[in-house]
Amino acid sequence: MIARNFGTSRGLVRLGLSYLESIPGISPARPPVRYAVKRLVFVCHGNICRSAFAEAVARREGLQAASFGLSTSSGKGAHPPAADAALRLGYDLSDHVTTDVDSFVLRPGDYLLGMEHRHLRRLAEIADLQRAPRGLLGAYASPPVPHLHDPYKLDPAYMQVCLRRIETAVKRLALSYPAARLS
């Protein structure tokens, strides 16, 4: 049950701790002005599973979207198990190409959405990104989960659970930020 729903026991512990980190004043989140959000930018570690999939869902929902990884190199494809799981959900990641944080160009109206609090803390340390609004993608899931544990090399069942949570969250984002819709 833990492997399927949380990835690992560490994923379950990190989820529990992330509820504490979500307390205002402790969280490194910077909420956006709702109608100022023009593009949703998904951030994770490698830009090969979670953020890649979130970007694909957002684009299908008609949103302006981008993604990047905090610890990756540009030019790689999606992780094959993530691409397979995404395909089972009806999303094609075959054209995805990773972008590293140093290659990402912030635009006015960007809302940075990390998968974990540590992503938000890292974004707050990067001079070019620290003023941008940032939040947790999982906060928009149903039910909200402030930690979307990395499914890389974990149980395939958890990959599906994680991607479903991301899909739900992105679809709720589409309702929350109408100015991010493509014209």
**64 CB contacts (<8 Å, ≥6 apart)?**
38, 39, 40, 58, 180, 181, 182
How much is the pLDDT for 14?
Answer: 82
Inform me whether the pLDDT recorded for 24 exceeds 80.
no
Q: Say what the pTM is.
A: 0.94
Q: Report residue 3: phi and psi, to 5°.
A: -60, -40
pLDDT tens profile 75-112: 999 999 999 999 999 999 999 999 999 999 999 999 99
* Single-letter residue type at 65: A
Indicate if the pLDDT at residue 183 is higher than 80.
no
pLDDT classification of 32: cutoffs 50, 70, 90: very high
- Quick one: average pLDDT of 49-53? 98
**DSSP type of residue 34:** G
Enter the DSSP assignment of 78: -
Set out the domains of the chain in order of their start, with CATH numbers.
2-17+33-178 (3.40.50.2300)
Average pLDDT of every residue of the chain: 94
C-alpha dist (Å) from residue 182 to 18, 28, 65: 33, 29, 10
